[in-house]
Structure formats: C-alpha cells, structure tokens
Amino acid sequence: MAMYFQNEIVKEIIEKYRQIWSIGHALSLMGWDSETYMPKAGVEERAIARAELSLLAQQLILKPEFVQLVDKASGLEGLNDYEKGVVRVLQREIRIMKAIPPSLLAELEKTTQEAMHAWRMAKEANDYEKFKPYLDKIIKLTREKADYLGWKEHPYDALLDLYEEGLTTRDVDRILEPLAKELKALLSSVVYEGRFPQKHPLEDKQYERDWMERVNLEVLKIVGFPIGERSRLDVSAHPFTISIGLDDVRITTRYEGFDFKRSLLSTIHEFGHALYELQIDPGLKYTPLAEGASLGVHEGQSRFWENVIGRSREFIELIYPILRKNLPLVGRFTPEEVYLYFNTVRPSLIRTEADEVTYNLHIVLRARLEKLMIEGSVKAGDLPELWNSLMEELVGVKPKTYSEGVLQDIHWSMGSIGYFPTYTLGNIIAAQLRYHIERELKLSEKISRGEFEFIREWLKNKIHRYGKTYPPKELLRMVFGEEYSVELLVKYLKEKYVG
C-alpha cells in the first residue's frame, strides 16, 4: 500500500477508513449468507443487525473530524492518481449522505419495504391496483431525493449519477435513442432471415442438477476461476456476485432443471463480475478504491464473458465435449446446433429472458418511462398503458397481463429509479472490449484455444487493477480513447446476427 499512498493526510484517511471498510466486510458476508444458507426464520434479526451496522458506517463516514480530513486532502496539490481517487470517492459518498435528510431516507426505507411486499402480491395476483399507490409515493419521494441531491438539466441526472458516476440524461438519450432505431431494424432483419431460430428444442429439455453442477465447475476451471482458493460457487434464487474482500469473492448460480444455458450463462456472467474484483491491485486493499469503477463498467465485464465469449461459436465448440460428456440431452445435437441454441432471437416480453438483439430495447422502454415519471409528466396510473404501447412499438409484442408488463421487475418497488441504463452501458462496454481485445490479441483465436489467461491479463492491466481510482468516463477514455460507443455495439450485433 505504501507505494500508492505517500501523502500523510491521505494515509491518515485510509487508516481511519479501515473501520468503515470492516463494517462493509461484515455486511457483505451477512448479505451473502442471507441469500444462500441462512434459515428463513433468521430474517428479522438479520435485517436489524444489517440496519444498525449500516447506520454505524454512516455515522463513521460523517464524523466531523473524518469529513474535515477529506476536505483538507481535497485542497492539496501534488497528489498522485490513487490519492486523488480516494479523496474523490469519499467526497462523493459524503456529499450524497449529507444531501438527503434522515427523515426522507427513513420514509423511503419504510415505503420501499412495504412496496416490495405489495409488488410481490400484485405480481402474483396480476393486480396492478395493489401496487399503484406505493409506486406513486416512491416516484414522489424519489423526485424529492433528486432535488436534494441537486441537478442541472433534468432531475433524472441526480438519480443516474447515483448508479453511474457522471452519467446524465443527455448521455442516456444520446446512447439509447439511436440504439433503439438500429436495434428495431436489426431485429426485423434477423427474424426475416430466419438463420437464428426463435425457438430451439434444447430450451425444453430437462437436466439433472448434478449434471449441470459438473458442467459449471468444468467451465469455470477453463476460464480461470480460483474456486476454493479465493472464491466459491453456491446456489441462490437469483444469481449474484459479492466481494467480501479482494481475496474472498463469491458467486452463485441457479438450477431450474430445464433450458441448461440459463444456468451456464448465469455462471459465466457472475464469473465476469468476480474476475474484476479478484484482479484489483492488492495495494488498494482496505481502501475506498478496492471495488469496481461503477455498475456500468462492472456489467461490461460480466456481459463480455457471458455474451461476447460465452455465446461465441469458438467457445461453444471449445466446451462442446464438456456438454456432451455431462449432459446426455446434448448428444444428438451438433456443435453448430448448440451454438444456435445459445443464440436464439425472438421478440419477447420479459427483460431477463431477452436475447442480445432485443435486450437493450427493454432498457430503452424503462429509461423513457423513468424520465417521464421523475419529471412529473406521468403518474403511476398511466404506466401500464404506456408500457404496453412502448413494448409494441419497440419489440413488436404486447403484454396481455400486468405481470408480464409493468409488474415484471422488482427495481421500482425498491426505489431503484435510474439503475436500468447501467445494463445497456454494460453491453456497450462489452462490445468495446471485444473490438479492442480482438485488435491487440486476436480474441477469437484465444477463445478457440482456451487461452483465457491472455484475456484475463489484458483486462487486469487495462481496467481491473485500478479499482475505483478513476471515474467511469475517464477510465473508458484511458482504455478505449472514447466513452460509450453505441456504434461498436451495433457493429458487433450486425456482424454476428446478419453478417
């Protein structure tokens, strides 16, 4: 750590920060346990313990002497990039925590807890009215939150920035609107040509859990996941990655018993997230920089491994012997047929099940609605109809129920407005990675030969090792010479799906 942090004030900040880091470490472990092994009855005590620890961390970061130390460091000249990074990350965190009054935070917390419950009930009963009053309240409170945080051009700016540092409504419009136009045209071409199937028989084939467990472990070994040493694989209802520390990064997957690519692609996706955390420079351990640059940059890593590598013809051919050995249902399908199975393209209603071509259209829909919600142009009561007409306009299908339409995602019930665009940023960054790695390393050849150490090393040197040192846009300019390139995502999808 010494070589990165020379300034005495910054060193003092990092020393004091260790307590805050330790609470985060404990919270991460508790969060992982809640989703994996905790008995159901433990929920209440766990919720209280996590809430108290979060409050303690907040108190520590807002301690006047800690805030003064960070302010003092921000006025210093001659800091290196790592020291500047520590100051930037902490100043941002302090600003956000100070901006929102505790009364608003408490009301949001209470409302979202109730709203998540109401959303589950509403989705199950296909009854939007059960959720509507909660969503109206969340929109109102979130707008208040945006005003407290401060914004220049649009209140949505303040919310986007919470999830992706420096992201603005102008950025989102500039990215999503041209992308929507390109993807609608591409979808029509892919469906018309019919080279990639809309349905594949392997989607309905059932598998035994132990077959799939062997597949996931063998594939993780090939890509270089250090299971047992610095990481582990478990099972949860919704796959996730959690970094408890730089030497303890855990992923989960799920086994649904059919359509085996879901389990495998989830595992590869989470590996992409985990690799990022595992390759952060050990010199940043215990500091505010010991995590990924942003949600978008993080999603870029997981989408790169899941889609660019995991769905590629070269990768399917490489792992085909593993699939054939462990999954009897693959036996009568050729590698080419399995490749087509991994790359079906169809207009569908559900975002989480969407393919590469249609996925971002689902994000365009949500971002458009969020913008209207936060500026006050629409109320919760207007959303189902707006959702359905936009779905038809963008993807060409129309929901018949609330559950497959406006009620399909949990995010709004959690108050996570401004989060969805980071998914598309991830897909864009994945395509940028493909282009730049291909140019320097001949990516396709490396995948064919299973030489993933070269790819891991490239990612480590260019992106991973820096952790949170640079804000996302600056990091992307350093690596790619540009920020978010819609053109490279469109180029990748066109080359793959229409040739």
Indicate the annotated binding residues: 269, 273, 299
Which H helix or E strand runs over 13?
helix 8-36
Neighbouring residues of 404: CB distance < 8 A, sequence distance ≥ 6? 349, 350
First to last CA, the chain: 49
SS3 435: helix
Active-site residue identified among 83, 270, 291, 306 = 270
Neighbours of 280 (CB within 10 A): 24
| Alpha-helical regions (H) of 100-206 | 102-125, 132-149, 155-163, 169-193
Q: Determine the longest span between alpha carbons in the chain, in angstroms.
A: 68
Indicate the annotated binding residues for Zn(2+): 269, 273, 299
Of the candidates 86, 80, 98, 102, which has an alpha carbon nearest to the alpha carbon of residue 16? 86
Whether 370 contacts 417, CB under 8 Å: yes
From residue 6, give the alpha-carbon distance in Å to each of 10, 15, 59, 455: 8, 13, 27, 32
Q: From CA 242, how far away is CA 150, in angstroms rounded?
A: 30
Whether 361 contacts 489, CB under 8 Å: no
Whether 300 contacts 307, CB under 8 Å: no
- Is-catalytic flag, 453? no
Q: From CA 266, how far away is CA 306, in angstroms rounded?
A: 8
Q: From CA 295, how far away is CA 290, in angstroms rounded?
A: 14
The residue type of 344 is T
Neighbouring residues of 313: CB distance < 8 A, sequence distance ≥ 6? 336, 339
Whether 497 contacts 345, CB under 8 Å: yes
Neighbours of 198 (CB within 10 A): 13
Q: From CA 145, how far away is CA 140, in angstroms rounded?
A: 9
Q: From CA 499, how far away is CA 497, in angstroms rounded?
A: 6
The residue type of 247 is D
**Which residues are identified as catalytic?**
270
